[in-house]
């Protein structure tokens, strides 16, 4: 009987996974398999390679733009960030370099830009696979691996149930941190500039907004939605549909945890403590259901 923990995509919202792991540890629920998409791939890899929840909390709370800036190689060719320095950052944190050396079975998801198919990674070099799973389009350049051109796993499997089953899971705990559209966006006054609306709604990066404002002002007619809001809302709608469909397919052998993370934006890493706590509380609320369903799956598996 193998239990899997499937950690979904969600940028800063993904820090809630640490709270879920903390709850599971406290209740002696140890996954045999960990799967991850995007931010879930990063945090799942940390845990699967032997880092403790306490160490993961420390890393999360120390994340900031200044620290990350040294590991970002800016490029405008295929994305804002080329990614080689980001792999150096991952190598600095991840204590092993291959899937085979992980302490817990690990599987990651990325998207093949050429075919549109999901790609499962469970063997071979680990760091490039994490990078590929986190390569959010427009932010990171795609990762080229042989003939494959790879992007963020959240585009095809925002909560990685499928790969968990393919790795032999009998029971899956899925963690879905994709926001509901109504929970994520706040109204930005239409009189504000285009860049002000974008940064306030998504990035919480006043310095970036100030820098951008030196170059351009939005003089178009007042709108309540920026082009970035339209794009990002569309992506969230797609991810919610994919996640719901995936869960429906595996619901007989799965339990889903969905933290309430209202107004947590893409890069709100400075709110790590709050987000981790929300993940813990969401897991605690589902604790009895998880234990009951797990015992039921164990019984069915032994029959």
152, 8 Cβ separation under 8 angstroms = no
Q: Would you report the helix, strand and coil content of the chain in percent, each value rounded to 5?
A: 50, 15, 35
Residues near 40 by beta carbon (within 8 Å), at least 6 away in sequence: 6, 7, 8, 9, 10, 14, 17, 159, 160, 175
Catalytic residue check, 234: no
| DSSP single-letter state for residue 142 | P
Residue 102, both tokens:
């992980």
73, 85 Cβ separation under 8 angstroms = yes
**Angle 16-26/39-48 helices, nearest 10 degrees?**
30
Sequence-ordered alpha helix ranges (H) in 84-226: 84-93, 127-133, 161-166, 181-184, 194-198, 206-213
Residue 195, both tokens:
């860049």
Secondary structure E strands in 14-170? 33-37, 79-81, 105-112, 118-121, 138-140, 143-145, 148-152
Catalytic member of 112, 133, 152, 268: 152
Q: Half-sphere exposure of 279 toward its Cβ, with a 13 Å CA cutoff?
A: 31
Residue 165, both tokens:
């089953």
- SS3 of residue 293 by DSSP: helix
Which long-range contacts does 211-219 make (Cβ < 8 Å, 24+ apart)? 217/193, 218/193, 218/194
Catalytic member of 38, 133, 141, 201: 38
Catalytic residue check, 38: yes
**Residues annotated as part of the active site:** 38, 152
């Amino acid at each position: 009987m193998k239990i899997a923990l499937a950690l979904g995509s969600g940028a800063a919202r993904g820090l809630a996974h640490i709270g879920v792991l903390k709850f599971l540890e406290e209740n002696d629920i140890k996954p045999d398999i960990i799967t991850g998409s995007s931010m879930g791939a990063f945090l799942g890899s940390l845990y699967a390679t032997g880092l403790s929840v306490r160490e993961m909390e420390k890393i999360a709370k120390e994340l900031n733009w200044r620290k990350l800036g040294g590991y970002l190689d800016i490029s405008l060719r295929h994305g804002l960030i080329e990614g080689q320095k980001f792999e150096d950052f991952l190598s600095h944190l991840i204590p092993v370099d291959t899937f085979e050396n992980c302490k817990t079975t690990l599987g990651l998801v990325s998207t093949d830009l050429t075919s549109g198919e999901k790609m499962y990674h469970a063997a071979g070099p680990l760091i490039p696979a994490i990078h590929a799973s986190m390569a959010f389009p427009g932010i990171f350049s795609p990762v080229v691996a042989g003939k494959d051109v790879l992007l963020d796993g959240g585009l095809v499997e925002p909560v990685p149930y499928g790969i968990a089953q393919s790795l032999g899971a009998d029971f899956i705990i899925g963690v879905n941190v994709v926001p509901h559209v109504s929970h994520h966006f706040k109204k930005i006054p239409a009189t504000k500039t285009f860049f002000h609306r974008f940064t306030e709604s998504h990035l919480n990066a006043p310095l970036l907004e100030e820098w951008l404002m030196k170059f351009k002002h939005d003089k178009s007619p007042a709108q309540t939605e920026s082009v970035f809001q339209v794009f990002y809302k569309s992506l969230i709608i797609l991810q919610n549909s994919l996640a719901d469909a995936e869960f429906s397919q595996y619901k007989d052998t799965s339990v889903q945890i969905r933290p309430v993370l209202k107004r947590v934006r893409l890069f709100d890493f400075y709110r790590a403590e709050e987000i981790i706590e929300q993940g813990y509380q969401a897991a605690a609320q589902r604790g009895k259901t998880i234990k009951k369903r797990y015992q039921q799956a164990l019984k069915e598996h032994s029959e």
